[in-house]
Amino acid sequence: MNILASEWIKVRSVHSTWVLAASTVLVTVAVSLLGISGLLADWVTELPTDWDPTGISFKGILVGQILAAMLGVQAISGEYATGMITTTLTITPKRWVLLSAKAGVTALVALATSVLAVVTSFAASQAVLGATGLPTASLADPDVLRALACAVLYLVLSAVLGLAFGTITRSSSGALSIVVTIALLIPALAPGLPGAIGDFAGTYWPTTAGQAAYTVVSNSPVLPLMGIAVMTVFTLYSFIAAQLVLRLRDV
């Protein structure tokens, strides 16, 4: 408990933690609303056959996940940048305990941030859709609560992934490069890859599969719970890799 308290004090005392948390909420909501506003005229004219007012509400997560990941990155990269990591490892020689404590605190901060981002994005998006006379979703509709829960979990997993990559690279810029590549670049390039490789990357890549979890109507062959399970397993393996790297190197 002392280690958890210590890590919580570190995280809450860093200004960038709250800047990133607020940015995650604002950007997620703003990008979702911008995506809706750009297509409202088309939707009013002709509603898509796969209309999913719930999934539409979370388009901003595509960008918000990067900021959520940076919440995890800064939880450890700042200590490497200042050299404080040496003191931290001296005080807490059991490195797996240290990283687990950081993951726990990161997940809690990300959970609060994600709940606010997801609920606000959903409410604001449904208000905009309703104001234009388009069909909306409510919490009482089938699978909507599941979609909200999966959206929150997806952002929390993104933050833990950020912590893992920050530990491995010991650099904010290095971890950010990995996050952007995994979350945005590979899914964008996947359709251009040949044959089965492109099909697999475009469907079962961890972030792509995870994003299928917070939809209600989807053409993806990945079931929602399967999608979030793929993302969870990928995060777990990344965290284990980070634990091994931290244990095997000097600092």
Spatial distance between the Cα atoms of 178 and 170, rounded to a whole number of angstroms = 12
Looking at every residue in the chain, the average pLDDT score rounds to: 92
Residue 55: the pLDDT is: 93
Using DSSP's 3-state secondary structure scheme, residue 222 falls into coil
Tokens linked to 158? 């993104």
How high is the pLDDT of residue 237?
Answer: 97
Q: Which alpha helices (H) appear in the chain, and where do they start and end?
A: 2-13, 15-45, 53-56, 61-82, 84-91, 95-131, 144-169, 172-180, 186-189, 195-204, 206-211, 224-248
Indicate the SS3 state at residue 57.
coil
Its pTM stands at: 0.94
User: Above 70 in pLDDT, residue 239?
Assistant: yes
Residue 1: which pLDDT band, with cuts at 50, 70 and 90? low
Size (the chain), residues: 251
Please give the residue that has the higher pLDDT: either 195 or 17. Answer: 17
- Which pLDDT score, from 0 to 100, does residue 141 have? 92
| Segment (H or E) for 137 | none
What contacts 231, CB < 8 A, 6 or more positions away? Answer: 154, 157, 206, 207, 209, 210, 213
107 versus 6: which is more confidently predicted? 107
Nearest to 26 by CA among 121, 110, 106: 121
More confident residue, 92 or 244: 244
Q: What percent of the chain has pLDDT over 90?
A: 71
Per-residue pLDDT at 200: 83
The pLDDT tens digits for 72-81 are 999 999 899 8
Kindly tell me if the per-residue pLDDT of 70 is higher than 90: yes
Residue pLDDT, tens place only, 137-184:
999 999 999 999 999 999 999 999 999 999 999 999 999 999 999 999
Q: What average pLDDT does this structure show over 180-201?
A: 87
Radius of gyration of the chain (CA): 19
Rounded to the nearest 5°, which phi and psi values hold at 49?
A: -70, -30
